[in-house]
Amino acid sequence: MKIIACYSNKGGVGKTAVAVNLAYALAAAGKRTLLCDLDPQGASSFYFRVKPSKKLIDAAFFKDVEKFTDAIRGSDYDNLDILPANMSFRDFDVFLSRMRDSRSRLKKALKSVKKDYDVILLDCPPSISTLSENVFRCADAVLVPVIPTTLSQRTFEQLIAFFKENKLPMQKLHGFFSMVQSVKTLHTETMDTMHTTHKRRFLKTRVPFASDIERMGIQRAPVIATAPSSAASKAYQALGEEISKRLARSS
């Protein structure tokens, strides 16, 4: 079983969009997939039309295996289950800080479903926190959407510095360019610079800025399901294949 976290300390960069589409693509390719919505905003639960969990408050998430597994819901798609978000997830950090082994609690919780899935995707909230340290420790790959602009570049570099300071394995980090607008000089220049500086940290696939992706909110379905031949769908599919290959090589 592999764990892929869709993470950035920056908000609104495409974490949920990639989590939802990768989950769909991997499930369609026959992998038993679980998407965990760790963000109290519950965006990926919303896209998959799954109601927020009432019972799975943060305490149960980390302590009560039965409640954790009971909260998992089926989706409209084969091989794809969803662990919906709960508003109490906004208190994860306070809760975790009171626990022993506070940085490896997520790993322990996910162990309970290890045998049931081939891939677990984590849709993470935007922060660097105790929860994110849990994410970095348990994930096999941390997939980071980067909009090719100066501020996103800075955020990615802060993340690299955090990994270094905390002696976390850098090879887990896989950046990819998100919401790319190739007509913008700033975008092409930033991508060139970042590819040169962080060559091995970036995936080749780039996700274009696409209105099909924005429309996911209306359709409440992954873009790969609603517009399979669109450029956005092809990009997410290629991204899924690229990250799967990298993970196969590292195991």
Q: Are 4 and 34 in contact (CB under 8 A)?
A: no
For ligand ATP, the binding residue among 142, 209, 224, 227 (CB under 6 A) is 209
From residue 248, give the alpha-carbon distance in Å to each of 1, 12, 67, 181, 210: 11, 29, 32, 31, 30
Instruction: Determine if 47 is a binding residue for ligand ATP (CB under 6 A).
Output: no
Q: Residue 30 binds what, of Mg ion, ligand ATP, none (CB under 5 to 8 Å, by partner type)? A: none
**Least spacing, CB of residue 30 vs Mg ion, in Å:** 26
How far is residue 124's CA from residue 132's CA, in Å, rounded to a whole number? Answer: 8
How far is residue 75's CA from residue 182's CA, in Å, rounded to a whole number? Answer: 35
Task: Build a one-symbol-per-residue string for 120-139: x at contacts with ligand ATP by CB under 6 A, - elsewhere.
Answer: ------x-------------
Instruction: Determine if 10 is a binding residue for Mg ion (CB under 5 A).
Output: no
Q: Give the residue with the Cβ less far from ligand ATP, 173 or 179.
A: 179
For ligand ATP, the binding residue among 26, 27, 216, 223 (CB under 6 A) is 216
Residues 6+ apart with CB under 8 A from 134: 96, 102, 103, 104, 105, 106, 107
Residues 6+ apart with CB under 8 A from 111: none
Q: Residue 74 binds what, of ligand ATP, Mg ion, none (CB under 5 to 8 Å, by partner type)? A: none
Binding segment for ligand ATP among 73-81, 95-103, 164-172, 213-221 (CB under 6 A)?
213-221
Q: Residue 14 binds what, of ligand ATP, Mg ion, none (CB under 5 to 8 Å, by partner type)? A: ligand ATP
C-beta neighbour count of 32 within 10 angstroms: 17
Task: Build a one-symbol-per-residue string for 31-50: x at contacts with Mg ion by CB under 5 A, - elsewhere.
Answer: ------------x-------
From residue 161, give the alpha-carbon distance in Å to each of 71, 80, 154, 173: 36, 35, 11, 12
Applying CB under 6 A, which residues contact ligand ATP?
11-17, 39, 43, 126, 178-179, 207, 209-210, 213-214, 216-217
